[in-house]
Structure 1
Amino acid sequence: MALHRLGKDPESPNGGSPTVYLDTDSGHYLLQGWKVTDPDRLAQLDLPDHETVIEFPRRMVQFFPEVAGEA
Structure 2
Amino acid sequence: MTLKATLLASTCDLKDCPALYTTDRDTLLVQGETPTDHGLEIPAHETLVEIPMELIRKVIREQLV
Q: Which consecutive unaligned segments of at least 5 residues does structure 1 have?
A: none
Structure 1's 57 and 70: CA in aligned 2 closer, same or farther, altered over 3 A? Answer: closer
TM-score, with normalisation over the residues of structure 1?
0.69
Aligned length: 60
Q: Which runs of 4+ in 1 moved over 4 A?
A: none
Counterpart among 9, 12, 24 of residue 11 in structure 2: 9
How much does 1:46 deviate? 3.6
More helix by percentage: 1
- Give TM-score, length-normalised by structure 2: 0.74
Identity of aligned residues (%): 27
- For the pair shown, the structure with the greater C-alpha radius of gyration is 1
After superposition, the Cα gap between the structure-2 partners of 1:52 and 1:70, relative to the gap in structure 1 and judged at 3 Å, is closer
- Give unpaired runs (5+ residues) of structure 2: none
Please state whether the residue corresponding to 1:59 is helix, strand or coil. Answer: helix
